[in-house]
Amino acid sequence: MLTMAPLCTALLILSVLRPICAAPNFLIFLADDLGFGDLSVYGHPTSETPNIDQLARDGVRFTNFYAGAAVCSPSRGVLLTGKYHVRLGIYPSTFDSNARFGLLHNFTTIPTALRPAGYRSAIIGKWHLGYGQSGRYLPTNAGFEYYYGIPWSQSECPTLTCFYPDVPCDLGNPDKAPCALFRNTSIIEQPLDFLTLTQRYVRETKSYLTGKRHSQDPFFLLVAFQHVHNPQFAGHRFTNSSLRGKFGDSLLEMDWAVGEIMNHLESEGLLEDTFIMFTSDNGASFVQEQIGGATGGLRCGKTSEFEGGRRVAAIFYWKDKLKPRIERQHFASFMDLLPTLASLAGAPQPECDGLDLTPLLFERKPVRSEMAYYSTFGQGELYAVRVGEYKAHYLSHGGPMGCQRWADIVDDSCCDDEITRHDPPKVYNLLVDPGERADYRHNLTLTEEGRRVLGLLDGYYRRMAAIPYMPSLTQQTDDALEPCCSPGCTPFPRCCHCAAEQD
């Protein structure tokens, strides 16, 4: 394992004004429902993402990186805790705005793990790990000192105008309280103006970063975009600005935001001291057709344990510390972020399912050789496992969202809401067949080495199927918990309106 001492030696000098081994700042850009094939740098022919592409050219781009789960809430829980989502009780599906529970406070999160090393933490953007009674499960109760954003997806509330000047949204839930913008635990705008939301996320991020160079405390900042989840939205500048329609406009606005924040880091003198990552919480919601994203040839999408639901873009950047224009084909996961940041910060390593990625990032030494794929629906069943380049599916389904309208275009299995049991399991070689089209099991039975691989897959499956689960937390709801800036108003929750945020 790469320890801080040799790492500091290898990094040489960080700054003439700061100690050679000053703990780095951490910034994670987290997109929402961005498919593996949606970025220009990951091969999309008409996407315009110049700032994210530049981040990839200047840093390390992963081609085998996995989100924590195939939908939002469990994936974000995995990112923050380094634990499989079934250990957190975040299944099936996600936390709705009226959920009684959220991410439980007894779990170590990135902010709480870094706090002993002097870190301050903030999140700007989407949370989606619970609200609860009086905001009990908001980020400020999960280790973050500051929060500005929306606690869930814009599809879970009445979303009216999504594109300038008055283009209505494609999706939204009219039975819920209007979308609310929070600062810490207080609602500051309800309903909120989506046409200016990304600009406000950028403004808040810049405000948080300003002056941090002179602070004695390093920071962990999570910028969690609403983009490109449905319904997509964009302000005046980006409406009708791309070749990909609404999806492309939303993507271009997010890319602009990344560029603005990167430029501000540089102007504040923070770029050399900040370890940066860009990724997505799960794969493309391709059942939404043209506004659902691109899987880059991977099978199925969001909600599925096939690669299209779990494999995501992942870019790491640290100026003058990580080599530019590097591609990593070794696989890694959201679970690995917490131990990696703890290692770089010199903080104690928490108990979790993740592994420290610093040997892979700095020395190209593989770290992870096994991973389990637990479903985000049903009872969180173990669907598949990966050992090396081989992935075995013991259960599968396309995803409960359905895709009947695309049944003549996509693989029928991606539209199948029924769980299919595979006995023997279907085995795919992900290095030569990332689209999971050809069952390789028979080929493996023909050689001694192949039979050894099958034994490893079966042994790992049995071991991971036996891990203890936490009981599900997502299905216990109470409509009275809908956040409302006008408590006691009628008719609830449609009456929840308050003044717009003041600049």
Catalytic residue ranges: 72, 128
Q: Is 56 helix (H, G, I), strand (E, B) or coil?
A: helix
Angstrom distances, CA of residue 197 to CA of 81, 116, 158, 185? 28, 33, 16, 18
- CA–CA separation, 207 and 201 (whole Å): 10
* Residue of 182, 78, 202, 205 whose CA lies nearest to 129: 78
- CA–CA separation, 337 and 110 (whole Å): 9
Asked if 71 and 33 count as a contact pair (C-beta separation under 8 A), the reply is no
- CA–CA separation, 120 and 267 (whole Å): 21
Asked if 54 and 62 count as a contact pair (C-beta separation under 8 A), the reply is no
Tokens of 351: 């108990």
Angstrom distances, CA of residue 503 to CA of 53, 188, 305, 500? 32, 11, 43, 9
**What single-letter DSSP state applies at residue 86?**
H
Which bin fits 471, alpha (ψ -120 to 50), beta or left (φ > 0)? beta
Helix axes 337-345 and 72-81, enclosed angle (nearest 10): 30
Q: Please name the helix (run of DSSP H) or strand (run of DSSP E) that holds residue 223, with its range, or none.
A: strand 219-224
Contacts with 247 (C-beta within 8 Å, 6 or more apart), sequence order:
228, 232, 290, 291, 292, 293
Asked if 119 and 111 count as a contact pair (C-beta separation under 8 A), the reply is yes
In terms of DSSP bridges, do strands 390-396 and 420-429 run parallel, antiparallel, or are they unpaired?
A: antiparallel
- CA–CA separation, 449 and 455 (whole Å): 10
- CA–CA separation, 193 and 180 (whole Å): 10
- CA–CA separation, 380 and 154 (whole Å): 25
Amino acid letter, 461: Y
Asked if 159 and 260 count as a contact pair (C-beta separation under 8 A), the reply is no
